[in-house]
Structure 1
């Protein structure tokens, strides 16, 4: 299953780093690629990137090199389910990126004001791309269940949480104000119904997000 995990992650890189950028350039005339701004932003992005590489590359290579799987997780059914979950999640991430249309960016740019997307998969959750990335990494960790993949999954979760809670959602609140608060009040953060903004969106100062 290590070879399958490597292939799946290669497909993800091709879609995320190649096809999606090409589509954006054809649609809008520019790539959508943005650099993180500030130390904290770089740390969040680095954690997610290293998490993906650990689960999608380092863990399969380690297994091929003889690293033992974690006890209790080396089950053919779990490995197969993990590979299927990773494949479905990769497709879902790409579909969610396409659903953002011209608003898609690799990360936020404080100087830009893209439109707030609340349709398609964004009607169900506010951050479906990050949900998909976490699910993809979980699938890879099940397909190749060793300590390297587990560390990669932890890094991905930490990076995504930081990116969403400390960077992207404050940015959206700042540029869209009441529209974002009303959207966040009715829509879960990563899963439907969970992590909605407390107190119903309003035109006043933002309420604290629920956990």
Structure 2
């Protein structure tokens, strides 16, 4: 039960603030003119938001139920999670958070939210390279190195990686 509770708390604290509260502070969630006057960008924003929300829910559930831990570094997973969306990209949780932010930027026509999304991606990228990947390599050794060699950090594979092969 602890992994589920911890994961739900972390979901509201981290992505809730980063992808919800701060974009709200920036945009007021007010719909402005479509970026560049291109109305379909607004609908693209809705699609990106929906996909980001589904991906975020899937990744958080997978951490709690499969990894038996949380995304929080203080209570990490017991096992390396390489199933579901993790078969396509190594960092789907971060991809989901950035998608939520960028989707809002497109929906609300907010360049400031889009810039914030780019800044968050850069911060996350530096965190992944500087902390997360070395920590996973130490924690999971050859299993992580094999996963890392087969699944890209940010750009999804077109076909899912099969850890059994």
Flag whether TM exceeds 0.5 (same fold). yes
* Aligned partners of 1:79 and 1:142 also within 8 Å: yes
Query: What is the correspondence of 1:1-211 to structure 2 with a 5 Å cutoff?
Result: 25=2, 28=3, 31-32=6-7, 49-50=17-18, 52-55=20-23, 57-61=24-28, 63=30, 72=36, 74-100=37-63, 101=65, 103=67, 104-109=69-74, 114-193=78-157
Q: Give the ranges of 4+ consecutive aligned residues of structure 1 lying more than 3 Å apart after TM superposition.
A: 48-54, 68-71
CA distance in 1, matches of 2:130, 2:38: 37
CA distance in 1, matches of 2:56, 2:4: 22
CA distance in 1, matches of 2:56, 2:146: 25
Range with greater deviation from structure 2 (162-171 or 134-143): 162-171
- SS of aligned partner of 1:177: helix
- SS of aligned partner of 1:31: helix
Q: List runs of 5+ in structure 2 lacking aligned partners.
A: 158-165
Range with greater deviation from structure 2 (182-191 or 96-105): 96-105
- SS of aligned partner of 2:28: helix
CA distance in 1, matches of 2:4, 2:152: 32
Q: TM-score with structure 2 length normalisation?
A: 0.74
* Aligned partners of 2:26 and 2:113 also within 8 Å: yes
* Aligned partners of 1:85 and 1:135 also within 8 Å: yes
Hey, what does 2:163 align to over in structure 1? Answer: none
Q: Judging changes above 3 Å, is the alpha-carbon distance between structure 1 residues 54 and 164 closer, same or farther for their aligned structure 2 residues?
A: same
Q: Judging changes above 3 Å, is the alpha-carbon distance between structure 1 residues 192 and 102 closer, same or farther for their aligned structure 2 residues?
A: closer
CA distance in 2, matches of 1:77, 1:70: 8
* Aligned partners of 1:116 and 1:180 also within 8 Å: yes
Displacement of 1:161 after TM fit? 1.0
CA distance in 1, matches of 2:77, 2:83: 18
Q: TM-score with structure 1 length normalisation?
A: 0.60
